[in-house]
Structure 1
């Protein structure tokens, strides 16, 4: 079972990141959104389930990728270099979207979750910088 309720984790993360930077997101299992101003207001979503704490952020919508095959290969090569994070493809609001994500055990400490949030944000910024050459620039 999850160690955290959404409200308990929200309170703990508000202390770490600031009350105005953490908000609950209505989902079946419970989720939080942490906004990191020192990372360009990057939004990190934390979803709580009985089996894991899932931490993620969108990287780029797939339609903005000029060469999907090249981008996918670059993601696979970049993935082992990202500590504590993975790159993936999922659907958000009906659109294929590349994400950066990580998972933690449901009984992870608040410090471990905070570290995952910070590391994931850094890795997302590093990944988008490394993958710029594959993007369509409007």
Structure 2
């Protein structure tokens, strides 16, 4: 069973990041959005399950990538040096979207989750900087 309920996690994250920057996502069960104003309003999503806390942020929509094969290879080479985070591809609002994500135990402490959020945000910004040469424009989600 999960250590955290969504409501408990919202309360804890609100204390850490400010109540104005944390909210439950109404369209997703057991999910929370944290906005980091000091990092350009980067949005971090936390999904709560009984087996893990899944932390993620969109990196770039696939249609913004010039050469997906080259971009995928660059992501694979970047992934091992991206501490505590992974790069992946998923569908968001019907669009293929590259994401940066990490997982924690449902028993993770508030401090561990805060570290994961900050690390994931830093890794997303580092990744988009490293992957800019593969994009059709300099605008990215992260």
**TM tier, smaller:** over 0.9
Give deviations 1:71-107, integer Å, cap 9, x for gaps. Answer: 0000000001111100000000000000000000111
Could you say which residue in structure 1 is the equivalent of 2:55? 55
Structure 1 position 93 matched with structure 2 position 66: no
| Equivalent residue, structure 2, for 1:73 | 73
TM-score (norm 1): 0.97
Report how many residues are paired: 137
Q: Stretches of 4+ moved more than 4 A in 1? A: none
Aligned to 1:41: 41
Structure 1: runs of 5+ lacking an equivalent: none
Look up the SS of the partner of 1:44 in the other structure: strand
Partner of 2:25: 25
Q: CA deviation at 1:122?
A: 0.3
Q: 1:16 maps to which residue?
A: 16
**Alignment partners' CA distance in 2, 1:37 and 1:123:** 16
Matched position secondary structure for 1:131: helix
Question: Counterparts of 2:106 and 2:113 in 1: how far apart (Å)?
Answer: 10
CA displacement at 1:137 relative to structure 2: 1.4
Q: CA RMSD in A?
A: 0.9
